[in-house]
Structure 1
Amino acid sequence: MFNIVKANEPLIIKNVNILIYGEPGVGKTSLANTAINPLTLDFDNGIHRSDNRKDVFVVENWKVVNNNMNDFMKLLSGYNTIIIDTVDTLLDYMGAWIIEQTPRYSQPKYKLQFYGSLKDEFAKLIGRLRTLGKDVVCLAHMKEKDEGDLRIKRPAITGGSYDRVMQLSDFVGYLFIKDNKRTLDFNPTDFWFGKNSAKFDQLQVPDFKSNPDFLSNLIIEMKNSINKQTQAQAESVITITKYNQRIQDSKKPEDFNFLMSEMSNLKNGVKVQLWENMQKKANQLGFEFLKKEKKFVAKQEEVTTTKELEQDNIDEYLDNTDKVVADDSDFIF
């Protein structure tokens, strides 16, 4: 019933949330419909303009959906990918429903509460779709915003909900025309927003008739990339745990030096954590690290030589003499 994923076990990602934005007519809906077994939730009533349409459910208001949520979820159960077209219109519908439930939220002084409820309602929907194991593709129009000397392209999403939509998106891609060809870029640049944990290069979108599974294949790559990262994180935890135990078991400088040679091939992030623990343990045992020789040695006790003692006595004598001279006004040389 309950499944706890241990720190040293990979956390497998089974579904992703994607946000794709661009100008009207650039082919966002057609692109989204190349995902596996998709259902488009048409909030804009513009699905008829797509040249690659699959199954569609036209949503005219959020009240009907919210009042019949269980039936709505059953409706979606037979699909692998849910397309929200567009997310901004969905938020408009949700906003109208929220104000209908709480009329005072229409007043300017309740603006923060309104946007808080709107963000919660959207997150609740995405959470339900995740629970069903669905991949979610949110579509949005593009708008430009001046930031200093630059004009930045970003998703056209209702102000207070923008950050929440971006947070819930695993990938954010900008779709545009370049050299008369559709181009999809998940990389954030100086000119548009993006989110790209898979490190995709700028992608040329193929003709959908010749490659009807373009987004489906891309989503597989997204999941593989994320899961490789979580696998690497799990392996790092195992490595850190193993070496930390060996650090605690070390008793001699030679033990630490041997560990250092073994750790030389580890990833930098792992080495940093282990190095801090190694220095702390070595210091507790009375060892020090010689940077020039790059090795641990036992700390040397400071030995005061006869010459140093003689110089200390001279310095002390001069200090005392200075005090006498300064204090004795009758002293004449």
Structure 2
Amino acid sequence: MIKKASELVQKENIKIRMLIAGFPGIGKTTVGLSAPKPLHIDTDYGATRVNPRHRADTIQPNSYQELLDDLKPENLKEYETLVFDTGGALFDLMKPYLIKQDAKNGKKNGDLSLQGYGAAGREFKRLMDIAYYQLRKHVVIIFHAKEEKDGENTRLRILVEGKTKNDVWQPMDLGGFMEMQGNERTIGFTNCERYFAKGTHGIQGIWRIKELQQEDKNDFLTRLFQEVQKNIEKETEIFEKEREAYEALMSSFDFEHTEINTLMEQIINTEHILTSKSELRAKIRQKAKKEGYVFDAETKKYILIAEKNKQETKENETENNMAEAQTEQQSEQNSENKETEIIKEENEQKTEPNKEVKKDVSDNGEPAEQLEIPTRE
């Protein structure tokens, strides 16, 4: 199904998938719990380190299967955001689950095999899809950061085993690294030499995170998500006029009563909007199939299949007649050539010199060899 550009912009019930990374103690969990109506999925068992004023309802699953059992629609009616804290501990929770599913996913020491890391990446994506598409919740996943040396440069990367870091970033709408700049906490949403990040819907650059006071409300991500919503609404307005013009253009074509070649000329000469050109071409192909037309490349027009067949039959007959005429002409030429050769041979025989054979007698009276002596004429 073809979707118009304006249909790709969702106006209501926008859900965000976000990754937050940073060093321990910088306040990642507090920021994560500033999302709208959060449920804290504390796989790292660090909920007690959060200021009591900023804590939220929490589950601390002992196994990955227990986590899946908790994530049921009937259990989540009060919540708008699922905060996974941390992603590294979440992957650790997955290990026994994945190895139980397939022994080849694990090693003897309980770690994941190469195949197991692939399975972990797929399971992570499945979990994110459940949270986002089925449960229709915001998703915030928190990772610890680590420093990696790249030549003379030091870069920040999320702390996760194996190649699964690539699977983690793929579904995210936003991804920010938290750092201290002087005495201020910040989160960056734009890639730089120091770290990877991800920004969409106008969320870019470095944002300052306010230090919370006793009376302050913990709502940084709530306000950020509202900003995303406003930006999406602005994007929608851009397409609104085009959408109206598109609908007017599409309704101006009468495919039921207009002759097919006339329609084709109209489509060619129209200034198209959004996906109108491809959709109109698809409709004209449907009309051709329904009414028995085919496109003739020579005339660049649609013609009825019956007429096309007659034309092809006539062309074939003409070609056959020409071939027969050429065959007859070649046969006649061959006969003439044969007659010419016969006459030539007869003439050569008539002009050949006459020869007389004379017998000679040797001295002993015996016949000598016969000699051919040309006769004089």
> Is the 1:20–1:173 Cα contact (8 Å) retained in structure 2?
yes
Relative distance call for 1:114 and 1:229 in structure 2 (3 A) is farther
The 1:162/1:228 distance shift into structure 2, 3 A limit, reads farther
Cross-structure match for 2:32: 32
CA distance in 2, matches of 1:126, 1:226: 22
> How high is the TM-score relative to the length of structure 2?
0.58
Q: TM-score, with normalisation over the residues of structure 1?
A: 0.66
Q: CA deviation at 1:235?
A: 6.8
- What one-letter code is carried by the residue in structure 2 that aligns with 1:217? R
- Equivalent position of 1:190 in the other structure: 193
1:207 aligns with 2:211: yes
- The answer as to whether partners of 1:177 and 1:183 remain within 8 angstroms in 2 is yes
Shift of residue 175, structure 1, vs aligned partner:
0.7
Counterpart code for 2:74: K
Q: Residues of 2 paired with 1:31 and 1:178: CA distance?
A: 17
Choose between structure 1 and 2 for higher RCO, CA contacts under 8 A separated by at least 6 residues: 1
1:17 corresponding residue in structure 2:
17
Q: In structure 1, what is the Cα distance between the partners aligned to 2:119 and 2:241?
A: 40
**Structure 2: distance between partners of 1:195 and 1:233:** 25
CA displacement, residues 111-160 of structure 1 (integer Å, 9 cap, x when unaligned): 34212221121111111111221101100000122234322102112222
Give 2:170's match in structure 1, choosing from 153, 167, 170. 167
Q: How does 1:52-201 map to 2 (within 5 A)?
A: 52-66=54-68, 68=69, 72-107=72-107, 111-130=113-132, 131-197=134-200, 198-201=202-205
1:223 is aligned to 2:243: no
Aligned to 2:205, the other structure's residue is in SS state coil
Letter in 1 for 2:176: G
Distance 1:148 1:238 in 2: 55
* Structure whose CA Rg is larger: 2
Report the residue type matching 2:155 in the other structure: I
Q: Return the alpha-carbon distance in structure 2 between the equivalents of residues 5 and 81 of structure 1.
A: 31
Residue aligned with 2:8, SS: coil
Q: How many residues are paired up?
A: 250
Distance 2:233 2:147 in 1: 34
Deviation string, structure 1 residues 138-185 (Cα, Å, up to 9, x no partner): 000001222343221021122221111100111110111111111111
Following TM superposition, by how much is the alpha carbon of 1:232 offset from its aligned partner in structure 2, in angstroms? 4.7
Root-mean-square deviation over aligned CA pairs: 3.3
In the alignment, the residues of structure 2 paired with residue 144 and residue 234 of structure 1 have an alpha-carbon distance, to the nearest angstrom, of 46
User: Residues 274-332 of structure 1, C-alpha deviation per residue, up to 9 Å, x if partnerless?
Assistant: xxxxxxxxxxxxxxxxxxxxxxxxxxxxxxxxxxxxxxxxxxxxxxxxxxxxxxxxxxx
C-alpha distance in 2 between matches for 1:91 and 1:226: 33
**Distance (whole Å) between structure 1 residues aligned to residue 172 and residue 29 of structure 2:** 18
CA–CA distance in 2 between the matches of 1:148 and 1:247? Answer: 58
Identity level (%): 26
| Equivalent residue letter for 1:219 | F
* Structure 1 unpaired stretches of 5+: 251-258, 271-333
- Measured against aligned partners, the alpha-carbon deviations of 1:65-106 in whole angstroms (never above 9, x if no partner) come to 34x36x644322320111000011101111221112222221
What amino acid does structure 2 have at the position aligned with 1:249? N
Query: Counterparts of 1:134 and 1:208 in 2: how far apart (Å)?
Result: 26
